[in-house]
Structure 1
Amino acid sequence: MKLFTATDRYIARLVFVPMLSVFVLAASLLVLDKMLKLFDFVATQGGPVSVVFKMLANLLPEYASLAIPLGLLLGILFAFRKLAMSSELDVMRAVGLSYTRLLRVPYMFAIVLAALNLLIVSYLQPLSRYYYEQLQFELRSGALGASIRVGEFNSLQDRTALRVDASRDEGRDLRGIFARIQTGNGQVMVISAREGRFFANRESPDTVILRLTDGQIVQDGPTIASPRVLSFASHDLPIDLPKIEQFRQRGDADKEYFLPELLRIGWSETSSPELRNQTQASLNYRLVEVVMMFLLPLLAVALAVPPKRSTSALGIFLSIILVVAYHKVNQYGQDVAALGRVDPVLALWGPFAVFAAMIVWMYWRIAYVPGGQPIGALETGFAKISRSMRKLFARKALRDEPVAATVSEAHHAV
C-alpha cells in the first residue's frame, strides 16, 4: 500500500502554493508596517540605514510565529475551496474518501510547521528579541557611530561642537563642516572645511580621526593677542569617542527567556511571585499558540466548503478574523496572567478550550451531518445583505439613467 496516493500528492500541491504565498504576503505586510516606524526612529537618532534592515531581520521570527499559522490555515482553506467549487470534492466523497482521510496531507504540513513554530518561539524569537533591544540601545547610545546629525550642532565629549551640511556613505563622508573645539587654558579653535571623512585610529581605539580637506583654522584665547588664521589642504582632527555603556545580559524580560529557562524559573521557589507569574504566562502563551495549529486544518475545512450553488467567500473572511482575534485574546490573557490577576492556565487554556470546542463542532457539522453547514446562518444573512445591496445599486442606476439620457440628448442638440 502506497503511503502517498495520487490524491494526496494533488492535495499537497493545492495546499503548498497558497500556503507559501500567504506566509510571504503576511510577513511582508508586517515588516513593511514596522519598516516605516524604524526608518523614522533611525533617522531621528541619526543612525545608518543598514541598522533598519538588521532590526527588521531580528523581528522576522516574531512575525513568523503569526504568519505561519495564518499561512497554514489559508493554504488548506484555499485548497479545499477549490476542490469544492470544481465539484472534485463531491467526486472524492462519492468514491469513499472522507474528510478525515483527505486531511492526511494537511496534517503532515501542520505537524512540520508546528515543530518549526515551536523552535521559533522556544529559541529563535527570544534571541532575536534580545538582539533587537541591543541594536536599539546601541543606536541611542551612539555605539553605532550614529551621533552625527546633519544640519544640527552635535556635542562630542562636552568640548567639541560639530555641524555638517551633508552626509554620505552612512555618515562617514561629510560635506560643509564647521567645528568649535574648547582646548586647554580657555583657548578656542574654530575649524571650517569643505569636506571630511572618518578613519579608524589604530593607535588609540577610543578615538577616531576626522580628516578635513580644504579649510581654515582660527585659534583664539586669553593668551593670544590676535586670532591666528591657518589655511590647510588636509588636516587630521582626533575626536574622542563617547564612553559606551555595556548592554545588559539576556533575560531582563520574560520574552528573552528560552523555553527550558521559563520552566526552571516559573516553578522555582527562589523566584519572586512577580517573576513566576510573568514566566508562567509566557510559557503557557507560547505553548498554546503552537498547540492551536493542530486544530487549524479542521477549521480550514469547515470554512472552505460553501453552500451548494454558492460562491460565497465568507469563510475566508471569517477565518482571518478568527485567527487574529484568537491571537489577540491570547496576548490579553498573557498580560493579565503576568500581572497575577488570573491563573496562567485559566487565562490561556480556557479560551483554547472554548475555541477548540467550536472548531470540533464546526468540523463535525461539515463532515458528518448530511448537508451540514457550520456557518449556514451567517451564509444566509450574508446572502440577504448582498442581494439587498445589489437591488439598492440597481435602483440607483435606474434613477440616474434618465438624467444621463437627458444630458446626452442635450449634448447632441448643441
Structure 2
Amino acid sequence: MKSIDRYMVRLIAVPLFSTLVIAAMLLVLDRMLRLFDFVATQGGPVSVVWRMLANLLPEYLGLGIPIGLLLGVLLAFRRLGTTSELDVLRGVGMSYGRLLRVPYMYAVTLAAVNLAIVGYVQPIARYYYEGLRFELRTGALGASIKVGEFTHFGDRMTLRIERSRDKGRELSGIFVHYDNPTGMSYSVTAAQGQFLATDDPNTIIFRLTDGTLVQSSPKFTVPRVLTFSAHDLPIPLPRSERFRVRGGRNLEFTLPELARLGHTAASEEQRASSRSEFHFRIVEVATMFLLPMLAVALGVPPKRSTSSLGVFFAVVLLVTYHKVNEYAASFGELGRVDPLVALWVPFVLFAGLVIWMFHTVAYVPGGQPIGALERVFAKAGSVIARWLPGRAREAAA
C-alpha cells in the first residue's frame, strides 16, 4: 500500500506544481506590463516593479493553489482512468475512499498554507503594495525629472531641462522659475547644470553655469538682470505626505483583526464589511477540502472515452463558485444579507453537489456524472459537423 501512496504522490505532484507555476507566471506577466507602464509614467526606478510584483505574489498564490490542487488530483485520476490502472486498483479491493488518502494529504497541507497566505501574508503584502504605489505618485522613491518637460517642485518652483547626458550628471538647456514666500520671483536660464547633495536632506543644490538670472519683485520698478558664470541655486524638496496606516481597506486586515472588528467596529457598516471579508476567506479555504472529491468525480472519464470535458467543466465550476462567493461577499458588505448566510449557504449547496457527484462515481454501479454532459456535447458536435458542409455547399452555389 505504501508503494501505491508514493505512486499517487508523484502522479499528483507534477500537474499540481506545474499548474501552480504556470498560473503564477501568467498572472505575473499580465500585471508586469501594466506595472512597467505605471512606473514609467510616474518616473520611478525600474527596481520598484520587482518589489511590487513580490507583494502581489501572495495574492496570486491564494488564487492559484486551489486551481493547482484541483487540476493535480483531476489529471492524476484521469490518467489512472484512461490507462486502466484505476480498474486494476479497484479490482484488488482499493476503494475511492482509500485512493483519496494522498489527495487529502495534499489538500490539508495546501489548505494550511493557503490559510496562512490569505489570513496573514496577503493583507500585509497588499498594504506594502499600496504603499509603493503611493510613494511613486508622491515622488518619495526618487522619481526622475523628465527631460523636455516642465517639472513642478511643490507650487513655487518649475524646472525644465532640454538635454541630459551621462545618466543625468551633465544637464544642459536649463530653465528655472521660483517664487519665494516674500513675493520675489526668480527666472533663470543656464547653458549647463548639475545637482549636488547637501547636509540638509530636504534641500539640494542646483549648480548652474553660463546663464542669466532675472529677479523681479513688486518693490522693483524694473526687473534686475544678472549674468553669471557659476551660480548655486538651492532647491527645497517638497515634503512628501505620510502613507496611511494599515487597514484603510478590509483586504489589509488579518483574520484575527477582521474577527475583532466584526464585533467591536464603531459602525454597523464596518462590522458587516469585516464579517463578510472574514467569512469569504474562511469559505475559500474550506472549499479546498471539497476539491479532491470534485476532481475524482470529473476526472474519471466514461469507459472508452478520452474526452477532456471533465477538466474544462471542473475549472469552470470552480471559477463560477469563486465568483458567486465574491458576489455574496459584496452583498454581505452592504448589510443586505447576513454574511454568515450569504457565504455559507452557497458553500453548503456546492458541497452537496460535489458529494453527490462523488457518491455517484464511487458507489453507484455505472455512475458517471460527466457522462451526460459528454453525450450532450457529442450530439452538439455531430449537429455542427453536419451543418458546416451544408453551409459550405450553399456558399459555393
TM superposition score normalised by structure 2: 0.90
Pair 343,10 (structure 1): closer, same or farther in 2 beyond 3 Å: same
Q: Deviations over 1:313-362 (max 9, x none)?
A: 11111111111111111111111101100000111001101100000001
CA distance in 1, matches of 2:205, 2:163: 18
Is 1:348 the equivalent of 2:361? no
- Aligned residue type for 2:257: E
- The alpha carbon displacement at 1:227 in A equals 3.6
Q: Hey, what does 2:34 align to over in structure 1?
A: 37
SS at match of 1:229: strand
Give how far 1:256 is off: 1.3
Q: Following TM superposition, by how much is the alpha carbon of 1:395 offset from its aligned partner in structure 2, in angstroms?
A: 6.5
Take 1:91 and 1:108, find their aligned partners in 2: how far apart are those partners?
23
What's the counterpart of residue 10 of structure 1? 7
Aligned mates of 2:283, 2:122 — CA distance in 1? 16
Contact 1:147 1:154 (8 Å CA) reproduced: no
8 Å CA contact 2:16–2:68 kept in 1: the answer is yes
Q: Which among 95, 102, 116 is matched to residue 98 of structure 1?
A: 95
SS at match of 2:145: coil
Offset from partner CA, 1:120-165 (integer Å, 9 cap, x none): 1111011011111111211112211226334320111333222235
Q: Partner residue of 1:264?
A: 260
Equivalent residue number for residue 237 of structure 2: 241
SS in 1 for 2:369: coil
Q: Is the Cα–Cα contact under 8 Å of residues 187 and 219 in structure 1 kept in the other structure?
A: no
Deviations 1:345-388 (A, max 9, x none): 11100110110000000101111111111122111011122333
SS in 1 for 2:176: strand
Q: 1:301 aligns with which of 275, 296, 305?
A: 296
**Match for residue 134 of structure 2 among 123, 131, 137:** 137
CA deviations on 1:64-105 (whole Å, 9 max, x unpaired) are: 111000000001111111111111111111111111111111
Count of residues in correspondence between the two structures: 391
Tell me what 2:365 maps to.
Answer: 370
| Structure 2: distance between partners of 1:103 and 1:119 | 24
| Contact 2:157–2:179, Cα closer than 8 Å, also in 1 | no
Residue aligned with 2:288, SS: helix
Segments of structure 1 that go 5 or more residues without pairing to the other structure are 404-414
Which residue, 217, 228, 231 being the options, matches 1:230?
228
CA shift, 1:182, in A, is: 2.5
Please tell me whether the aligned partners of residues 189 and 217 of structure 1 are also in contact (alpha carbons under 8 angstroms). Answer: no
Query: What is the alpha-carbon root mean square deviation over aligned residues?
Result: 2.7
Aligned-partner residue type, residue 71 of structure 1: G
Alignment of 1:89-168 (within 5 A): 89-146=86-143, 148-165=145-162
Alignment CA distance shift 1:229-1:75 (3 Å): same
Shift of 1:259: 1.0
Contact 2:174 2:192 in 1 (8 A): no
The code of the aligned residue for 1:255 comes to L
Take 1:346 and 1:162, find their aligned partners in 2: how far apart are those partners?
Answer: 59
Amino acid at match of 1:359: V
The counterpart of 2:287, out of the listed 281, 285, 292, is 292
SS in 2 for 1:267: helix
Q: Which moved more, 1:284-293 or 1:365-374?
A: 365-374
State how far apart, in whole Å, the 1-side matches of 2:23 and 2:41 are. 28
Q: CA, structure 1 residues 395+14, in 2 after alignment: closer, same or farther (shift >3 Å)?
A: farther
Question: Could you say which residue in structure 1 is the equivalent of 2:202?
Answer: 206
* SS across alignment from 1:310: coil
Deviations 1:17-42 (A, max 9, x none): 11111111111222222223222322
1:177–1:126 Cα change, 3 Å: farther
Q: Which runs of 5+ in 2 are unaligned?
A: none
Distance 1:302 1:174 in 2: 68
Output the CA distance in 2 between the equivalents of 1:25 and 1:236. 55
| Kept after mapping to 1: 8 A contact 2:193/2:206 | no
Instruction: Tell me whether 117-126 or 376-385 shows the greater mean CA deviation.
Output: 376-385
